[in-house]
Chains A and B, each alone.
Chain A
Amino acid sequence: MNKLRLGFFKYSCCMGCSYFFAYVHKQVPEVLASFDFVFIKLLSRKGTPEGPFDIALVEGAITEAWQVDELKMIREQSKKLFAIGSCAVIGGIPAIKATMPELEVEKRVYKNLSSIHSIKPHAVDTYVKVDGYIRGCPPAERDLYEALTAVLTGRKPDFPEYSVCIECKLKGNTCILIAENMPCMGPVTNAGCGALCPSMNRACYSCFGPMKQTNAPALAKKFKAMGISRDDVIRKFTEFGADTIEFRKAVETYED
Chain B
Amino acid sequence: MTGERTFQKFKRLISKKAFLLWLDSLKKDYKLIGPRYYRGNQAVFKEVDSSKELFMEYESAMLSPGKLFLYKPQEELFRFTFNETSNPPSPPFSKRGMGGFSSKKITVDEIKPDMAKQVIVGVHPCDVNAILYLDRTFLGAFKDPHYEARRKNTLIISLNCTHVGGNCFCSSVGAGPFLHSVGGYDVLLTDFESEYLVEIKSREAEELFGLEGRGAGRDEMRFKAEKEKAMQGKFRKTLNVSGLDNIFAENMEHPVWQQTAEEKCLSCSNCVMVCPTCFCYDLRDEMSMNLKTVTRYRCFDACLDIRFAEVHGGNFRQSRAARLRQFVAHKLDQTNQYGVFGTVGCGRCITWCPTGIDLTEIAEELRTKN
A residues at B contact (CB < 8 Å):
1, 3, 27, 30-31, 33-34, 142, 145-146, 148-149, 152-154, 158, 161-163, 165-166, 169-172, 174-175, 177-179, 186-188, 211-215, 218-219, 221-222
Is B97 part of the contact surface with A, judged by Cβ < 8 Å?
yes
Taking A175-B352, A219-B266 as known contacts, 12 extra A-B pairs with beta carbons closer than 8 A to each other, sorted by chain A number, are: A33-B290, A145-B287, A146-B286, A153-B91, A163-B266, A163-B268, A166-B268, A170-B74, A175-B62, A177-B354, A188-B268, A211-B267
Inter-subunit contact B352/A170 (CB<8 Å): no
Inter-subunit contact B269/A149 (CB<8 Å): no
Is B100 part of the contact surface with A, judged by Cβ < 8 Å?
no
Chain A nearest CB: distance from B93 CB in Å? 5
Inter-subunit contact B302/A31 (CB<8 Å): no
Inter-subunit contact B355/A219 (CB<8 Å): yes
**B residues less than 8 Å from A222 (CB atoms):** 354-355
Chain A nearest CB: distance from B306 CB in Å? 6
Inter-subunit contact A149/B300 (CB<8 Å): no
CA distance A31 to B53 in the complex (A): 46
Of the residues A31, A153, A213, contact of B287 by C-beta under 8 Å:
A153
Is B246 part of the contact surface with A, judged by Cβ < 8 Å?
no
B85-106: which have CB < 8 Å to A? 86-91, 93-97
CA distance A172 to B288 in the complex (A): 25
- B6-14, B37-45, B119-127: which lies at the interface: B37-45
Which of A145, A215, A219 is the most central at the interface, judged by chain B CB atoms within 10 Å of its CB? A215
CA distance A163 to B320 in the complex (A): 14
Inter-subunit contact B268/A186 (CB<8 Å): yes
Chain B nearest CB: distance from A24 CB in Å? 14
CA distance A163 to B307 in the complex (A): 12
Contact A212/B306 with A31-B289, A148-B289, A222-B355 known, Cβ cut-off 8 Å: yes
Inter-subunit contact A162/B305 (CB<8 Å): yes
B261-316: which have CB < 8 Å to A? 261-270, 273-274, 284, 286-291, 299-300, 302, 305-307
Inter-subunit contact A169/B63 (CB<8 Å): yes
Is B73 part of the contact surface with A, judged by Cβ < 8 Å?
yes
Inter-subunit contact A218/B291 (CB<8 Å): no
**A residues less than 8 Å from B96 (CB atoms):** 1, 152-154
CA distance A178 to B94 in the complex (A): 50
By beta carbon, the residue of chain B nearest A168 is B273
23 contacts between A and B (CB under 8 A): A30-B290, A33-B89, A34-B88, A34-B289, A154-B94, A158-B284, A161-B306, A165-B269, A165-B273, A166-B268, A169-B63, A169-B273, A169-B274, A170-B300, A178-B351, A179-B38, A179-B62, A188-B268, A211-B306, A214-B267, A218-B264, A219-B354, A221-B263
CA distance A174 to B288 in the complex (A): 30
**A residues less than 8 Å from B354 (CB atoms):** 175, 177-178, 187, 219, 222
Is B116 part of the contact surface with A, judged by Cβ < 8 Å?
no
**A residues less than 8 Å from B265 (CB atoms):** 215, 218
CA distance A165 to B354 in the complex (A): 10
Is B182 part of the contact surface with A, judged by Cβ < 8 Å?
no
Chain B nearest CB: distance from A136 CB in Å? 17
Chain A nearest CB: distance from B120 CB in Å? 15
Of the residues B88, B91, B264, B273, contact of A33 by C-beta under 8 Å:
B88
Contact A33/B87 with A27-B289, A145-B289, A174-B44 known, Cβ cut-off 8 Å: yes
**A residues less than 8 Å from B21 (CB atoms):** none
Annotate B183-196 by CB proximity to A: 1 below 8 A, 0 otherwise: 00000000000000
By beta carbon, the residue of chain A nearest B357 is A218
Inter-subunit contact A166/B305 (CB<8 Å): yes
Chain A nearest CB: distance from B355 CB in Å? 5
Inter-subunit contact B300/A166 (CB<8 Å): yes
Chain B nearest CB: distance from A224 CB in Å? 12
Of the residues B62, B266, B302, contact of A174 by C-beta under 8 Å:
B62
Shortest 7 CB-CB distances between A and B: which pairs?
A154-B95, A187-B268, A169-B273, A30-B289, A27-B289, A187-B266, A163-B268
**A residues less than 8 Å from B286 (CB atoms):** 142, 146
Inter-subunit contact B68/A163 (CB<8 Å): no
**A residues less than 8 Å from B262 (CB atoms):** 215
**A residues less than 8 Å from B305 (CB atoms):** 161-163, 166
At the interface, is chain B mostly helix, strand, loop or mixed?
loop
Chain A nearest CB: distance from B280 CB in Å? 11
CA distance A41 to B265 in the complex (A): 44
Which of B38, B42, B284, B306 is the most central at the interface, judged by chain A CB atoms within 10 Å of its CB? B306
Chain B nearest CB: distance from A1 CB in Å? 5
Chain A nearest CB: distance from B223 CB in Å? 35
Annotate B329-367 by CB proximity to A: 1 below 8 A, 0 otherwise: 000000000000000000000011011000000000000
Which of A3, A154, A165 is the most central at the interface, judged by chain B CB atoms within 10 Å of its CB? A165
**B residues less than 8 Å from A214 (CB atoms):** 266-268
CA distance A177 to B355 in the complex (A): 10
**B residues less than 8 Å from A186 (CB atoms):** 268
CA distance A241 to B68 in the complex (A): 34
**A residues less than 8 Å from B266 (CB atoms):** 163, 187-188, 214-215, 218-219
**A residues less than 8 Å from B44 (CB atoms):** 172, 174
**B residues less than 8 Å from A152 (CB atoms):** 91, 93, 96, 291
CA distance A178 to B262 in the complex (A): 21
Inter-subunit contact A166/B89 (CB<8 Å): no
**A residues less than 8 Å from B94 (CB atoms):** 154
Contact A162/B269 with A27-B289, A33-B290 known, Cβ cut-off 8 Å: yes
Inter-subunit contact A213/B267 (CB<8 Å): yes
Which of A33, A171, A218 is the most central at the interface, judged by chain B CB atoms within 10 Å of its CB? A218
Chain A nearest CB: distance from B185 CB in Å? 23
**A residues less than 8 Å from B87 (CB atoms):** 33
